[in-house]
Amino acid sequence: MGAHSESVPVSENAGGESPIELIEPMEVTEAVADAAAPEREIDVAVGDDLVEVKNLTVKFGGLVALDNVSFTIKRGEILGLIGPNGAGKTTCFNAMTGVYKPTSGQVLLEGGLLNGMKQHKITRAGLARTFQNIRLFGEMTALENVAVGLDARHKTSVVGALLRLPRHKAEERSAIERGMALLEFVGIAEHAGSLARNLSYGSQRRLEIARALATDPKLLCLDEPAAGFNPAEKEDLMALIRTIRNDGYTVLLIEHDMKLVMGVTDRIVVLEFGKKIADDVPSVIREDPKVVSAYLGEPEDDFA
């Protein structure tokens, strides 16, 4: 995701200091979904392997942040990636999306090797992500931020189209339509013209998801998208994630709130000290003694 390398973090901390705004439950129509991603194949069947992570290892000096981790992500599923603080979840995302070069191992998307590709090439190949610490262009509007995501898929600059450069006139309407459809999809269309830095924390989180969706990904990776949310906002966000999946996307979700993860995912991979310690359906993970013991010492409300 080349654009992200130049982006300015709007909020470094998921502390939820900005005023929280309740978002009306959105109505997602097929028209909105089509406008947002016209070329996407809709296939919600949980089926073949979309992504394979094979023996992935990431070392930082002497620290093994990710230790020989393997798992698959099936097309159409919501896979949870959980584990205590420092377990290696974000490192796994970073290695998959080209932010870090894996020390060893492979990441395959539909059988094609992603290792060694630049971030924007990985985005183009179909892997999009959000960040644990929100990264948005604070001085650009919500719609322009989404256009950056759309840009990752287009040959000509959609940002240019929004800024009304003459050579982009032809694409202008479709960029605005698609951007607006995505903002509507995540429930923040009314803020399309607001600068990203002026959005509430909750809207910023949703905007990040819209921008990632704008790249029309095969896999959407969300790194603690509900961090700093109150329970009602978390429920709303989980509903949005389900809608995203039902609309034909595959989702990899890092989330610290165990109750949420259990409620929304089809399967869960558990990391502890960089190693995979479990990989199963939520009902089995919940009873797994290794998982329960990994979470001992974590705040009680994390494991419910």
- Interface contacts to Mg ion, rule CB under 5 A: 89-90, 132
Nearer of residues 88 and 225 to ligand ATP, judged by Cβ: 88
CB of 257 to ligand ATP, least distance (A): 11
Cα 284 to chain centroid, rounded: 25
CA dist 196 → 200, 215, 220, 225, 297 (Å): 9, 19, 21, 17, 37
Q: Which does 76 bind (CB under 5 to 8 A by kind): Mg ion, ligand ATP, none?
A: none
d(CA 132, CA 208): 11
Report the helix count and the strand count for the chain, using DSSP H and E.
Answer: 12, 10
Is there binding between residue 16 and ligand ATP (CB under 6 A)?
Answer: no
Is there binding between residue 60 and ligand ATP (CB under 6 A)?
Answer: yes
CB of 42 to Mg ion, least distance (A): 31
d(CA 269, CA 282): 9
Nearer of residues 26 and 53 to Mg ion, judged by Cβ: 53
CB of 270 to ligand ATP, least distance (A): 11
119-158 residues near ligand ATP, rule: CB under 6 A? 132
Q: What is the DSSP annotation of 52-93?
A: EEEEEEEEETTEEEEEEEEEEEETT-EEEEE-STTSSHHHHH
81-120 residues near ligand ATP, rule: CB under 6 A? 83, 85-91
DSSP 11: -
Q: Which does 283 bind (CB under 5 to 8 A by kind): ligand ATP, Mg ion, none?
A: none
| Binding footprint of ligand ATP on the chain (CB under 6 A) | 60, 63, 65, 83, 85-91, 132
